[in-house]
Amino acid sequence: MIAASTGTAAMIAAQGPIGALTARLDTASPLGPVDGWSPILVSTVRLMLSSKAEIVLFWGPDFCALYNESYAPTIGDKHPLALGRPAREGWRELWDDLGPLLRSVLDTGETIHAKDRAFYIERDGGRGEDVYFDISYSPVFEADGSIGGVLCIVSETTKRVLAERAMLADRNRLWALARDPFLIADTTGVWLAASPAWTEILGWTEAELIGRNAEWMEHPDDIQPTRDQIDGLAHGQPVLRFDNRFRTRDGDYRTFSWTAVSQDDIVYAVARDVTEQRAHARALADAEAALRQAQKMETLGQLTGGVAHDFNNLLQIVTGNLELLQRALPADDTRLQRMIGRAAAGADRAAVLTQRLLAFSRRQPLDPRPTDPNRLVAGMSDMLHRTLGETVSVTTMDAPEPWPIAVDVNQMENALLNLAVNARDAMPDGGKLTIEVSNSYIDAQQAARETDLAPGPYVMIGVSDTGEGMDDATLAQAIEPFFTTKDVGRGTGLGLSMVYGFIKQSGGHMRVYSEPGQGTSVMLYLPRHHGCTTMEDAQETPAFAATGGQETILLCEDDDNVRAYSHEALRDLGYHVIPAADGAAALAALEAAEGPVDLLFTDVVLPGGMTGADLAATAKLRWPGLKILFTTGYARNAIVHHGRLDEGVDLLTKPFSYADLAAKVRDVLDRPADVPETVA
């Protein structure tokens, strides 16, 4: 029953609907009527009823419940039956949890405080639910110092807790499923939590990752930059797009791009595995650099080819006529002989320069033959000792069972000689030159790190010196055409460029290693040749005397001065010469010839739409027994394809000497049909 209002009850009743219910409590409640309450209980209830906080007061040995308007919705349909009744009745479903809390405050006099404290409650028609409260349970002291009850100020946090748990569940799902790895660390870099993606990418278990910083698996070059970023985070600076590398369990390194922020001394970070992206970017940059290099080479090659053709024709006129003049001069006229000798030496140097330009731009005609690399190097021993002098010690190291290579022997010897001369110049006080031959297999991973290199078996010919060496800046420019560290007049800057162009044209690769004070090593890689398993001993090209003959030669040359020189030289050698300026004139001359023509000696580049190759093919159809000798200063695509002389082709490159002409013409005329062709 609920009693009628008295003075105290009237004051309580005036404090709202629940105040009115509280004022009407009577002897049916263990608390009894309000007028019989202690002053402390009355003042506490009045304070509670006037508060907007959620407050419940459990009073007396039975912990009878008194609460305010803000608290009533918290207990649902327990109100108003729970008002003034023992807590074990109104909260029987959680009494085993609530009771010990209340008795602890009553017994110890100490406040109990908790955030997001979980409770089980039935407040909606008996339906149970898990709820969460921030609680503060404090003792209320009577005038005599005893504890009369427990004042509970609470705030239900169920919605927030459930929302946070749902968010946490979503985060955990994202944490577990995300391919990008997440990390929580402290501001010293110690890992506190790591998402499963780290294990998937690196292979290290969570236990191996947590509880220490990542220095143990960082790339040595990245340790200090990573520490700098962590220090910045400790001072509130975010990290955006910072890259570093971690070592995997397999020993490889993966590259990660980081985004991270710090809050309350905790670092929250997400990384992205960009290993493939960075590799692709490097490959793209390398490809772009290779394309620029190829375009530069192509431009230089086109320029060089055009210049070489015209320049070699000019050199042919100069050198050829100097030789004819020298032959015509009296041998005892030493002054004129010296003058002609100096002019011829200058022309020869110009010819070498042109050939080096062609070699660098991969435009020289090559005549590759199966060759034993050990024998090739051994055959150069005497020449190297003579060229390098006594102050340079030359050591050769043969491969035990070298693979054969297909290479133009003359050009290969020239390339090795260039490297040897460069080495000598890098050792002004003398030193040691080592030429090593070895078999080498380049796998796909090694090939991928280079430009334009196919994996497979190679023969490596290395030339190493103990000279001055080069720094990184010099090394980066070493193969650039016209780059030289030598004094003016001491070098053209085309030696190493020529070697590089020749090796690339031969299907190989060149690597250069050098350090200041430690010398230089140039490694030439040439593909293993599979077309021949037995090789004959290298033979010297027979030296032909400058002798001629009485055969008939059809000379086809568009340059009047070159044609005049060749005509004069061939006639001087005893041959009957029929001159022609183009392909049409040459075919007409063949038709009109009174007797058989033994040799067609033709330039490759001719006017009138018919090349020397076209002329030769047409002539061979009509006169199958006609022998062919080509000459050119530059023969791209006509008789040279992929840098190699076509099968069945004899070539005399301009500028040629009187002796070269005599020897080559005699060689072609005297050679049986089944003897391999040559280039001179």
Structural domains of the chain ordered from first start:
7-162 (3.30.450.20), 178-273 (3.30.450.20), 373-527 (3.30.565.10), 552-670 (3.40.50.2300)
Residue-wise pLDDT for 172-189, tens only, equals 787 887 889 999 999 999
Query: pLDDT band at residue 533, thresholds of 50, 70 and 90?
Result: very low
- Characterize the bridge pairing of strands 392-397 and 431-442: parallel
- Is the model's pLDDT at 527 over the cut of 50? yes
- Is the model's pLDDT at 57 over the cut of 80? yes
Mean pLDDT calculated for residue range 675-680: 49
Phi, psi of 237 (to 5 degrees): -90, 125
Mean pLDDT calculated for residue range 45-65: 96
Predicted pLDDT at 1: 39
Query: pLDDT band at residue 51, thresholds of 50, 70 and 90?
Result: very high
Predicted pLDDT at 580: 94
Predicted pLDDT at 301: 64
- Is the model's pLDDT at 638 over the cut of 70? no
Predicted pLDDT at 632: 83
- Is the model's pLDDT at 669 over the cut of 80? yes
- Is the model's pLDDT at 280 over the cut of 80? yes
Query: pLDDT band at residue 494, thresholds of 50, 70 and 90?
Result: low
Residues across the chain: 680
| Pairwise pLDDT comparison (136 vs 410), residue with the higher score | 136
- Is the model's pLDDT at 534 over the cut of 50? no
pTM above 0.85, yes or no: no
Mean pLDDT calculated for residue range 229-257: 94
Predicted pLDDT at 536: 47
Task: Return the C-alpha torsion angle 481, 485, 486, 489, nearest 10.
Answer: 40
Q: Which two tokens stand for residue 56?
A: 């419940």
User: Which residues, 6 or more positions from 511, have their beta carbon under 8 angstroms from its beta carbon?
Assistant: 522, 523, 525
Query: pLDDT band at residue 637, thresholds of 50, 70 and 90?
Result: low
Predicted pLDDT at 650: 86
Between CA 470 and CA 484 the distance in angstroms is 12
SS (HEC) of 523-584:
EEEEEECCCCCCCCCCCCCCCCCCCCCCCEEEEECCCHHHHHHHHHHHHHCCCEEEEECCHH
Least confident of 52-56, 87-91, 188-192, 652-656: 652-656
Mean pLDDT calculated for residue range 461-480: 79
For the chain, the average pLDDT equals 85
Residue-wise pLDDT for 566-589, tens only, equals 999 999 999 999 999 999 999 999
Predicted pLDDT at 595: 86
Mean pLDDT calculated for residue range 644-667: 83
Residue-wise pLDDT for 585-618, tens only, equals 999 999 998 889 999 999 988 888 898 889 999 9
Predicted pLDDT at 545: 53
Q: Which residue type sits at 465? A: D
Least confident of 48-62, 131-145, 275-289, 297-311: 297-311
Between CA 426 and CA 420 the distance in angstroms is 10
Mean pLDDT calculated for residue range 435-451: 81
Mean pLDDT calculated for residue range 135-163: 94
Q: Which two tokens stand for residue 427?
A: 């050792």
Predicted pLDDT at 675: 46
Q: How many CA atoms lie within 13 A of 672 on its CB side?
A: 2
Mean pLDDT calculated for residue range 220-238: 94
Phi, psi of 365 (to 5 degrees): -75, 125
- Is the model's pLDDT at 679 over the cut of 70? no
Mean pLDDT calculated for residue range 369-392: 86
